[in-house]
Structure 1
């Protein structure tokens, strides 16, 4: 059944940008630079390849089963019971993902702006807004993001221009001094985040021009990867090896610009970009969770699930880690990459392989019967 709500290809591109970009540019640089050193900017190329494969797989599956989400068409590929188990696992993944994102939001705002604010207040204030957005529907989220994405671009442009005034190109050398292996090893982290194009499995059924899905998705991918490149390269040229020791490298760069230049307290721009990106990211995550539960358990109105999911998310975000900073960093470095790549890349690939084999066998059987 084709959903009544629709979004345009441009809105799809902007949603993908807002869903992935803010967390990528604030979190990924220090991890990749720690492993790949001055060659960290090269990690973007293998990551783009992973993102491209992810997009290709999700769009191919969507074209084979138009108007259906991955939760719905998986039952036609692997059967009812196996698809239920897979659906429950994916639901667990998204709920855990939601807890982590809200927890990151708490830590970032506590670190940068509101040092003494109770975590539950920060979590609840954002979660309530996201819950309202989801209740209004995916069209409302997309239209809201049209303006927020534009504001994020506008805020990023002066930061990028000011960063160019402080760089030292010599810090990018020597190139590949330790070989290609550190680059490939460091690319695991941005690849894990770029595999978040997995969300296309829930957004594509709402696209009003399915033929433009590939173009819209790749536009989002190249915009995000290009932005990541022009963030990582100046970071290396400004801070060099010190970048890997910074929790939020982009924030440190902004603070450095504010001290050295004519502008001060520019980290407020970083907070604004983060909050707007988090609003869209969490809203889309709420939407995916509610929609998945509805389709798994045959609940017609996914919007009826918004309130309990909002409450669950707030409680989960403040209890998911005992030691906020240490546990979150450990999870993002050692658990999330493998978890994300398996769920967001390997599972869709397995579904595509099984579906292709089934279709090939059906064609062979049909040919044999005709003979």
Structure 2
């Protein structure tokens, strides 16, 4: 086995939570508001892709224990077609992680380090993540366990002080046009919920397998609840202005002013973003490296960590010419690509595996 490390079911749940949420808090309030308006807080409830992907990942793991989706492809559709399909997953993870690195860099440079070149910010975070990923799944799991309490604490330090200034009228009327706007707003959110396919790569390393299913579903519920809270707080404070900002939740953090002393909490938002983005990039990079090594039948994934890290930096520069086009792509073509590759293809693979199993049972 390429990776001999083990993580607990709890660590896996924390890794998934931090691998999905940070970028969702960053941009989804503004994107969702364009479709759902005052119902943007309802949109995270429609987590259909998350449920499908978790079900598929757990079923494939049960049918092919110890194998992730890249390895299971060859068992399901044969060696040559399986190699072609299996190659798509690490390649797309590399591309998608490039988008995440670009989002991270654009936010840090645009909001805080205005004079710093993008390549410097991208290169520094990728280098740190590459070193962590090279340490193995246990290192990434322990980082997640360490960072999650700080992430939640900083999040609450932004949300709680703002409660007296929230205007409940901003969310009224609720569903004036029915559920359609909230579902339209949820379509973009399926990009983030589809990322739960990452569980397929982590499940083989979970020591307490009996608790893994519960941990994944708790992680999904935690992501939904956090998105509801962040969207709701943003809406109740900013109202119709929510759609005018690129980073609405950052504006919420900057609004806080307690007795002219407790102010400028955007530093807390920066801390949330840096800590969360570190884990997200780290998990996705580890999955990319692991999947690529398994696809190439290598005995160790460590030799390809830094070469793929360099590719990741290049992808982050190539994905879009500017942040506006990147945001537009996330709301359109990237959403379609992720749903196709992370939801539809794995679901088809599960159906083929189930048919194959039934035919094999009947032939006996």
Are 2:363 and 1:365 aligned? yes
Alignment match, 2:150: 151
Tell me how far apart the structure 2 counterparts of residues 262 and 249 of structure 1 sit (CA, whole Å): 23
Alignment match, 1:6: 6
Please state how far the C-alpha of 1:12 moved relative to its aligned partner.
0.7
Alignment match, 1:292: 291
Are 2:356 and 1:353 aligned? no
Tell me how far apart the structure 1 counterparts of residues 77 and 122 of structure 2 sit (CA, whole Å): 38
Tell me how far apart the structure 1 counterparts of residues 254 and 206 of structure 2 sit (CA, whole Å): 40
The answer as to whether partners of 2:95 and 2:312 remain within 8 angstroms in 1 is: no
Q: How many residues align?
A: 364
* Structure 1 residue matching 2:115: 3-state secondary structure: coil
Please state how far the C-alpha of 1:3 moved relative to its aligned partner.
4.5
Please state how far the C-alpha of 1:348 moved relative to its aligned partner.
1.2
Alignment match, 1:94: 93
Alignment match, 2:102: 103
Please state how far the C-alpha of 1:363 moved relative to its aligned partner.
1.7
Alignment match, 2:333: 335
The answer as to whether partners of 1:2 and 1:68 remain within 8 angstroms in 2 is: no
Alignment match, 2:238: 239
Alignment match, 1:160: 159
The answer as to whether partners of 2:22 and 2:272 remain within 8 angstroms in 1 is: yes
The answer as to whether partners of 2:165 and 2:237 remain within 8 angstroms in 1 is: yes
Please state how far the C-alpha of 1:51 moved relative to its aligned partner.
1.2
**What whole-Å deviation, never above 9, does each CA across 1:184-206 have from its counterpart, x for those lacking one?**
11111112211110001111111
**What whole-Å deviation, never above 9, does each CA across 1:185-228 have from its counterpart, x for those lacking one?**
11111122111100011111111111111110011111111111
Tell me how far apart the structure 2 counterparts of residues 262 and 189 of structure 1 sit (CA, whole Å): 38
Please state how far the C-alpha of 1:133 moved relative to its aligned partner.
0.2
Map 1:218-233 → 2, pairs under 5 A: 218-233=217-232
The answer as to whether partners of 2:70 and 2:86 remain within 8 angstroms in 1 is: yes
Alignment match, 2:267: 268
Tell me how far apart the structure 1 counterparts of residues 242 and 210 of structure 2 sit (CA, whole Å): 42
Please state how far the C-alpha of 1:263 moved relative to its aligned partner.
2.1
Q: After the TM superposition, which of the residue ranges 15-24 and 38-47 deviates more from structure 2?
A: 38-47
Taking only aligned residues, the RMSD between alpha carbons, in angstroms, comes to 1.5
Q: Cα 1:2–1:356, aligned 2, differ >3 Å: closer, same or farther?
A: farther
Q: After the TM superposition, which of the residue ranges 261-270 and 251-260 deviates more from structure 2?
A: 251-260
Are 2:26 and 1:26 aligned? yes
Please state how far the C-alpha of 1:280 moved relative to its aligned partner.
0.9
Please state how far the C-alpha of 1:276 moved relative to its aligned partner.
0.9
Give the structure-2-normalised TM-score. Answer: 0.97
**What whole-Å deviation, never above 9, does each CA across 1:320-357 have from its counterpart, x for those lacking one?**
322x2122111111112111111111111101101111
Tell me how far apart the structure 1 counterparts of residues 317 and 362 of structure 2 sit (CA, whole Å): 54
Tell me how far apart the structure 2 counterparts of residues 144 and 40 of structure 1 sit (CA, whole Å): 32
Tell me how far apart the structure 2 counterparts of residues 210 and 2 of structure 1 sit (CA, whole Å): 19
Please state how far the C-alpha of 1:261 moved relative to its aligned partner.
5.9
Give the structure-1-normalised TM-score. Answer: 0.95
Unaligned 5+ segments in structure 2 are: none
Please state how far the C-alpha of 1:88 moved relative to its aligned partner.
1.8
Tell me how far apart the structure 2 counterparts of residues 105 and 342 of structure 1 sit (CA, whole Å): 24
Alignment match, 2:174: 175
Alignment match, 1:369: none
Stretches (4+) displaced over 6 A: none
Tell me how far apart the structure 2 counterparts of residues 326 and 260 of structure 1 sit (CA, whole Å): 37
Map 1:305-344 → 2, pairs under 5 A: 305-322=304-321, 324-344=322-342
The answer as to whether partners of 2:3 and 2:136 remain within 8 angstroms in 1 is: no
